[in-house]
């Protein structure tokens, strides 16, 4: 007898962790549209819309702006695989988990990694960043603009200026800033920036926006060795998405539909208005956290607007608090890991999740859960 399997019914959650964030109904509707083939002219029309809108969100005029198949880590892999040749010195600003991931990828691709290390949640000053780069004289410089493991934002102008003075290209991880904070690729001087779809853009995971400057393309075209990651070879991807439309892989029309719609929502809101919404909700959240007697992990002025890291009060089990929020209220937040395990909550207010109502709800339910676990101001 055939088996009767009921339709899938996932639980309803309010996603206030480090990603994914909530998806707008309009994006869900776009995801339900009929698919076309990966060489269909309509798909490439969508690809061109996505390119134009990504340029607006990244703050760049780079013609090479695409979305590669895969999550944000595929964007990181594409950046490292294409711009780190065997023997290249790679200078990494390391103050969190994703700096460590970049370092490991660079080593796997034959790079010689040198690191400027600080504690998780700290950032780098202009003078010390410049001194590090000019002393090391690397071919590639990498930093994380928005460190998802700590909630810290790293300004990059001084890093990029010094890197260019040293003849290096700059890779910037913008996974948790794109769509929620000013990335400003061209103004900052970033050569290769990558992100994801499931955070500030308000789309399901599955694609990695990436933009590449003309000077970085010169380095790519001058490579003496083939890119080892065939699937992430940007020259091959360029020949598919641009120019001859040469088959490379079966790109998901569905994911392009969703990304196009998510970007359209951003354009209609206005990118500056969107940044201001995230900033205002972040400040309201921090004010509420301080009223509860809690402290933030990252120093004021260097905090992400999209991902907040309040410290776990002494004597409180963060896992039990998170479990209460999920089981009693259907709210997902995350804890710290690595050196911050058990020490911080990671609470995302990004994209469609960044609303005044959600700020009020998480503050109210977090206070209730903390009290239930014995916290007293």
Domains and CATH numbers, the chain: 25-267 (3.40.640.10), 270-372 (3.90.1150.10)
Query: Which pLDDT does position 1 carry in this prediction?
Result: 84
10 Å Cβ neighbour count for 340?
A: 23
Cα distances (angstroms) measured from residue 333 to each of 185, 228, 353: 30, 37, 12
Q: How many CA atoms lie within 13 A of 211 on its CB side?
A: 29
Sheet-wide strand order for 307-308: 307-308, 345-348, 334-335
Instruction: Record the pTM.
Output: 0.97
Q: At what angle do helices 271-291 and 253-269 cross, to 10 degrees?
A: 80
Residue 170 near residue 163, CB atoms below 8 Å = yes
Query: Which pLDDT does position 319 carry in this prediction?
Result: 98
Cα–Cα distance for residue pair 32/353, rounded to 1 Å? 21
117 alpha carbon, distance to own chain's centre: 21
The tens-digit pLDDT sequence of the chain (377 residues) is: 889 999 999 999 999 999 999 999 999 999 999 999 999 999 999 999 999 999 999 999 999 999 999 999 999 999 999 999 999 999 999 999 999 999 999 999 999 999 999 999 999 999 999 999 999 999 999 999 999 999 999 999 999 999 999 999 999 999 999 999 999 999 999 999 999 999 999 999 999 999 999 999 999 999 999 999 999 999 999 999 987 899 999 999 999 999 999 999 999 999 999 999 999 999 999 999 999 999 999 999 999 999 999 999 999 999 999 999 999 999 999 999 999 999 999 999 999 999 999 999 999 999 999 999 999 88
Residue 270 near residue 173, CB atoms below 8 Å = no
Interior/surface letters 306-324, b for 16+ CB within 10 angstroms, e for the rest = bbbbbbbbeebebeebbeb
Cα–Cα distance for residue pair 138/133, rounded to 1 Å? 7
Residue 112 burial (C-beta neighbours within 10 Å; 0-12, 13-18, 19+): middle
Query: What is the bridge-based pairing of β-strands 140-144 and 89-94?
Result: parallel
- Give the position of tokens 């239930």: 372
Q: How many residues does the chain have?
A: 377
Helix H or strand E encompassing 356: helix 356-372
Q: Cis before residue 296, ω within 30 degrees of 0?
A: no
């Amino acid at each position: 007898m055939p088996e009767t399997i009921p339709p899938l019914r996932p639980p309803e959650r309010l996603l206030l962790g480090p990603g994914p964030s909530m998806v707008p109904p309009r994006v869900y509707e776009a995801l339900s549209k009929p698919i076309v083939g990966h060489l269909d002219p309509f798909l490439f029309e969508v690809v061109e819309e996505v390119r134009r809108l990504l340029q607006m969100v990244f703050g760049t005029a780079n013609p090479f702006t695409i979305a590669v198949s895969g999550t944000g880590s595929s964007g990181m892999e594409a950046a490292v695989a294409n711009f780190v040749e065997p023997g290249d010195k790679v200078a990494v600003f390391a103050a969190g988990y994703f700096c460590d991931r970049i370092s490991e990828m660079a080593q796997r691709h034959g790079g010689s990694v040198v690191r400027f290390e600080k504690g998780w949640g700290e950032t780098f000053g202009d003078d010390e960043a410049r001194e590090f780069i000019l002393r090391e004289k690397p071919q590639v410089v990498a930093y994380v603009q928005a460190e998802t493991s700590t909630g810290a934002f790293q300004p990059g102008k001084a890093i990029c200026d010094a890197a260019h003075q040293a003849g290096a290209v700059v890779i910037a991880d913008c996974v948790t800033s794109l769509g929620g904070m000013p990335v400003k690729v061209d103004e900052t001087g970033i050569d290769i920036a990558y992100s994801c779809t499931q955070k500030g853009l308000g789309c399901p995971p599955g694609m990695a926006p990436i933009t590449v400057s003309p000077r970085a393309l010169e380095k790519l075209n001058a490579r003496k060795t083939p890119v080892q990651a065939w699937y992430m070879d940007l020259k091959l991807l360029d020949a598919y998405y641009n120019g001859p439309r040469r088959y490379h892989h079966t790109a998901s029309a569905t994911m392009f539909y969703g990304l196009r719609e998510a970007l359209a929502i951003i354009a209609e809101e206005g990118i500056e208005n969107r940044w201001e919404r995230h900033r205002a909700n972040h400040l309201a959240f921090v004010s509420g956290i301080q009223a509860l007697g809690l402290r933030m992990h990252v120093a004021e002025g260097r905090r992400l607007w999209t991902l907040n890291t309040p410290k776990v009060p002494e004597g409180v089990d963060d896992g039990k608090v998170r479990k209460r929020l999920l089981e009693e209220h259907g709210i997902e937040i995350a804890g710290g890991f690595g050196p911050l395990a058990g020490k911080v909550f990671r609470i995302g207010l990004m994209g469609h999740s960044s609303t005044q109502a959600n700020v009020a709800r998480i503050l109210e339910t977090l206070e209730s859960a903390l009290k239930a676990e014995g916290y007293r101001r």
